[in-house]
Structure 1
Amino acid sequence: MRWIIILGLLLCGVQWATASSSKIPKQKWGYVDVRKNAHMFWWFYGASQQRRDQAPLVMWLQGGPGGSSTGFGNFLEIGPLTVQLKPRNTTWLQKANLLFVDNPVGAGFSYVDKPSAYCTNVTQIANDLVTMFKAFLKTIPAFRKIPFYIFCESYGGKMTAAFGVALKKAIMSKEISVDFRGVALGDSWISPQDSVDTWGPYLLSTSLVDTEGAAQIQSYANNIRTALSNKKYAKATNLWSQMENVVENLTNNVNFYNILTQPSSNGLTCAAHDTACRILSEMNTLTLAQLMNGPIRKKLRIIPKNVTWGGQSGPVFQYQSVEFMKPVIDDVDKLLDMGVSVTVYTGQLDLIVDTLGTERWVNKLKWKYLSQYKKSKRVPIYASGSRETGAFYKSYKNLSFYWIMKAGHMVPADNGPVALEMLERVIGAKHMN
């Protein structure tokens, strides 16, 4: 009953917005049929502490693939309420309008009618997102002239890089009108080989394995490299899964998403590649799934009866299994060359997409200003009201890098104040009151 009452207060903004003369509602959600048999769900929140038409629009894309933005990003990281339905002090609504998208189709409340409608590569995902975003801009036209940014996490970074390129091309061809400013790639699966190649050294440096263990882990990384060079992409993904199991055995079940926390068994059984399920398990909570499939579902009123939140996440991963281990560094290069602002941020305690691997792929960029970026000064950042170093920052022209301290894979969940500080820097104070 408490959930129903609080959610009623939270979601009543939709009715208020309908009667308001404001061009930007306080809250809104809906479905977009991005293709035949493919239905994408989105959930929008208006900025809470300023005029909504003077705040930028930030789209949040989750990882997995198969993770839900409207669930994980919203209730676990940057939305107005926590899973326990308590106000979040570090919600990004303080600085921006937020758009959560359950992407690809099959993630969260998004769904497909037939298996043939699942996406099998990031190009299809990017095209679906362009279609969805066009429909969103028709729903709230004011955002055509308001600065737009894409923030993401994990595999969401791979999708964001492809989406960013597709969106920029659509803007250049006048298929869509929007003030697209930049992307922020959080702990992003941009170059899988660079990530797995650094698992051994990272675990060794943090005392989670010994020299022999690091060598054993590296042998799997080498096998993955061989599979990728032979274009055996599905095999590379299977080897990655096996490598995760080896790492867990050698480290007494290290938490891939934050090495300083130990996963606890909570009776949740996950499929081998169900990352969304795995995160739920490692955060030791079933509350989010209960919330989304219970009170949230009832309040949204548009979720089909046969659709369960996260129910199609397993197939989403399986249909991306060939694409999963392919790098998309070239898409990041394209964004930089197109003049799009690219921010890379990484959590100090993340293993699955560790900082070592992230720095490696950044240094492989073919961007013409890379040498100047490397020479630029790395400076400390302090969250508001704190004297403790919260992050380090480095930037040159339209490329920026943030090293976030005391955070794992889900940076805003682990270090909310610093994540909020980073957001403000990325979107720029000139967009805020």
Structure 2
Amino acid sequence: MIRTGVSVCCLVFLLSSTLHTGLSGPLAGKEAWDYVEVRDGAHMFWWLYYADSQSADFRDLPLVMWLQGGPGGSGSGFGNFEEIGPLNRNLEPRKTSWVQAASVLFVDNPVGTGFSYADGPDKFATNVATVASDMLVLLRHFFTEKKEFQSVPFYIFSESYGGKMAAAISLELSKAIAQGTVKCNFAGVALGDSWISPLDSVITWGPYLYTTSLLDDFGLADVSSAAEAVKKAVEQEQFEKATELWSVAETVVEQNTNGVNFYNILTQEPDEKVVALAGEDYISLQTRRHIRPLHGQSLSELMNGPIRKKLGIIPQNVTWGGQAEEVFSSMAGDFMRPVVDVVDQLLEAGVNVTVYNGQLDLIVDTMGQELWVKKLKWEGLPGFNKLRWTPLDDPVSPGVTGAFYKTYKNFSFYWILKAGHMIPSDQGPMALQMLKMIIQQD
């Protein structure tokens, strides 16, 4: 029955070239997608939705690129159909789609993520420097092919590990624009629940869980001990070992909390618990913990079935999400490296930087985000710290606080209430309001 329902909805979706699927759906012919070979044997997939606004032409609205986490999570799948795209997983119009306010570009990165693919094991990226270099090739190609977007404000929005990649990409993009090798109107980067300083996240897991009554004194001691082991490895710059110890720390958290959901501490379901299997290597375990939730069975069936057919350019030997574990494994040595210095460079260069975080997120808890923000060497930080935050009403519940925010010069921070790691999924109206505030602040 589920497959039949999806097929019926998908028939509507596949006819979108001649029919309008609804207020939040794509306009006729207002989508585009393609591959870019960013290195020999390394192919990246992108999917563009032109802004669908009744009050403005797409040329008068910004372009937003969305980067998913993992690494290995697919933006063309999860970000698109579970968070901000015009249609949800059941191919019904999404009322809080970001396509109402901006054109949206989903890119499956790093190479091997989603519909992106690598021809061989040596083609996967092993660090964010390569990720940024690959993305610059794609963006150069995109803005050359889609000249109509060269002058519109261009923003990079991200989630989780996507934020770490977004920071590095933004810095390289700024340099490329200055050098004239990429022509676009780069307007800012937004880092959502982002893996900017992994250690600051890990060392605050214990205190966060303790204050939310998810650890007792014994559990706090266990989690703190596991976090200290991660800290020692990071301080010694043993980053691959730190990634493995991070996995151990997550297991300790699970054991002491009866399987808390790392993405939203209030939404644990019985089948969400991930228990380490005897003899299982940590890469496979982390793939099950953090990639598989982004590639759920129903989403995988949609992407590898009707969507694959719609797109019509996916090579026969490529499966959506088929190389996700290799993507994560290849990045393991770079995974725990911080990029706080990159954010500092962005701020000093005058790039608009926004940090936003979900109140109920554990994997990248807000306490950890605030820790690394306080370490910034940016000259505007003292001024930012002197500001009190401003409350924002929940868009669907006037009079009820949905978020707080602070803005000083080119830096903003949004605290999103009642949201976990995937803010647009948990609090869609609030996420859409935040988007509009960010892209209109200039």
**TM-score of Structure 1 vs Structure 2, range by shorter chain:** over 0.9
- The aligned amino acid for 2:166 is T
Separation in 2, partners of 1:344, 1:104: 22
State the shift of 1:415 in Å: 0.3
Does residue 1:35 correspond to 2:39, yes or no?
yes
Q: 1:276 to 1:31 in 2, by over 3 A?
A: farther
Separation in 2, partners of 1:5, 1:91: 22
Does residue 1:382 correspond to 2:393, yes or no?
yes
Separation in 2, partners of 1:284, 1:123: 26
- Native 8 Å contact 2:192 2:356 kept in 1: yes
Q: 1:341 to 1:99 in 2, by over 3 A?
A: same
Does residue 1:217 correspond to 2:223, yes or no?
yes
- The aligned amino acid for 1:296 is I
Q: 1:367 to 1:25 in 2, by over 3 A?
A: farther
Runs (5+) with no aligned partner, structure 1: 18-23
Secondary structure (helix, strand or coil) at the match of 2:150 reads helix
Does residue 1:401 correspond to 2:413, yes or no?
yes
Separation in 2, partners of 1:205, 1:303: 48
Range 5-14 or range 347-356, more displaced: 5-14
1:134 paired residue number:
140
State the shift of 1:54 in Å: 0.8
Secondary structure (helix, strand or coil) at the match of 2:107 reads strand
Runs (5+) with no aligned partner, structure 2: 21-27
Does residue 1:97 correspond to 2:103, yes or no?
yes
- The aligned amino acid for 1:173 is Q
Separation in 1, partners of 2:120, 2:387: 50
- Native 8 Å contact 2:9 2:92 kept in 1: no
2:13 paired residue number:
10
Q: Structure 2 residue aligned with 1:340, among 330, 351, 362?
A: 351
Q: Structure 2 residue aligned with 1:156, among 157, 162, 169?
A: 162
State the shift of 1:5 in Å: 5.0
Range 279-288 or range 385-394, more displaced: 279-288
2:150 paired residue number:
144
1:423 paired residue number:
435
State the shift of 1:263 in Å: 3.5
Separation in 2, partners of 1:11, 1:183: 33
1:287-312 CA distance string (max 9 Å, x none)? 11111111111111111111111110
- The aligned amino acid for 1:147 is P
Separation in 2, partners of 1:204, 1:316: 33
Separation in 2, partners of 1:110, 1:31: 8
2:52 paired residue number:
48
Separation in 2, partners of 1:193, 1:138: 39
State the shift of 1:272 in Å: 4.2
Normalized against structure 1, the TM-score is what?
Answer: 0.93
- The aligned amino acid for 1:329 is V
Does residue 1:228 correspond to 2:234, yes or no?
yes
Does residue 1:261 correspond to 2:284, yes or no?
no
- The aligned amino acid for 1:201 is P
Q: Structure 1 residue aligned with 2:73, among 59, 67, 78?
A: 67
1:291-349 CA distance string (max 9 Å, x none)? 11111111111111111111101010111001000000011011101111000000000
Separation in 1, partners of 2:167, 2:335: 14
Alignment of structure 1 residues 214-363 onto 2, 5 Å: 214-265=220-271, 272-273=282-283, 277-278=288-289, 285-363=296-374
- Native 8 Å contact 1:7 1:299 kept in 2: no
Does residue 1:366 correspond to 2:407, yes or no?
no
1:177 paired residue number:
183
- Native 8 Å contact 1:264 1:281 kept in 2: no
Q: 1:353 to 1:206 in 2, by over 3 A?
A: same
- Native 8 Å contact 2:73 2:295 kept in 1: no
Secondary structure (helix, strand or coil) at the match of 1:82 reads coil
Secondary structure (helix, strand or coil) at the match of 1:81 reads coil
Q: 1:178 to 1:14 in 2, by over 3 A?
A: farther
- The aligned amino acid for 1:416 is G
- Native 8 Å contact 1:151 1:183 kept in 2: yes
State the shift of 1:2 in Å: 4.8
| Overall identity of the aligned pairs, in % | 53
Q: Structure 2 residue aligned with 1:85, among 87, 91, 107?
A: 91
Separation in 2, partners of 1:376, 1:179: 30
Range 99-108 or range 285-294, more displaced: 285-294
